[in-house]
Amino acid sequence: MRLKDKVALVTGAASGIGRESVLLFAAEGASVVAVDLNDEAGNAVVEEIRGAGNTAVYVHADVSKSADCKAMIDAAEKEYGRLDVLFNNAGIMHSADDDAISTDEEIWDLTMNVNLKSVFLGCKYGIPALQRAGGGSVINTASLVAVMGSGAPQLAYTASKGGVLSMSKELAIVHARQNIRVNALCPGPLRTELLMKFLDTEEKKKRRLVHIPVGRFGEAAEMARAALFLASDDSSYVNGSTFLVDGGISSAYVTAE
């Protein structure tokens, strides 16, 4: 088991990458703290973990709020006595997010709060817990668009994920000598609800797929396996990385249909 005796906290745990990650982390031996706003789905995934004979608790938190982020870290230490893995994964992609001209300020602020401020707050309260545990791993979900930009306008999302990537690199440098690693997981297009609600026709899907060299969307479970690598001691020399898991998009200039 790659996370035996570890304690892992995952935000956005009720769906998508977060859900697959808490299931996998628990199966690999971690005691899991599943954090989300969706209490029904969050409790459901915890029950699934427990039903498989593994260990997990659910914590309700709005990760854009300082008090909630502090409380989720406190809950991890109270329940399990330590924190070894912090996976700042929660995020949104708003349908009204567009270019600089069309995007309303409130959409910009909401996206920054949920996608970027939440990572800052998670690290603000989570890194001291890792220090108390003698070290650990921080994984922050950025995106392919943090590296390349997006062809379809989604300025607030792209800027927020660019901020996550830059923040991750700086934190990796600051805390490297404290046995704390910080890496940015950068997924490509995934077959998750977050993206599929935008690619809601076969034509839209085909237009996106033509740019993916492997010819398909990624799966949330594949991102969870990448996160498991970053969470485990297998990645003990991986720090400050832009960990691209994108089906080859970032290596391709043009892909044939």
Q: Tell me the C-alpha distance between 138 and 84, whole Å.
A: 9
What ranges make up the beta strands (E) of the chain? 7-11, 31-36, 56-60, 85-88, 136-141, 180-187, 242-245
CB atoms within 10 A of CB 91: 25
Residue 162 host element (H or E): helix 155-175
- Asked if residues 44 and 22 have their Cβ atoms less than 8 Å apart, the reply is no
Q: Show the tokens assigned to 121.
A: 């707050």
Q: Tell me the C-alpha distance between 255 and 220, whole Å.
A: 23
**HSE of 161, CA atoms in CB hemisphere, 13 A:** 26
Q: What is the CA radius of gyration of the chain?
A: 17
Which entry of 80, 125, 157, 237 is annotated as an active-site residue?
157
The residues pairing with 182 across neighbouring beta strands, listed in sequence order, are: 138
DSSP state of 133: T
Q: Residue 125 catalytic?
A: no
Q: Is 218 helix (H, G, I), strand (E, B) or coil?
A: strand
Residue type for 101, please? I
Q: So which residues are the catalytic ones?
A: 157
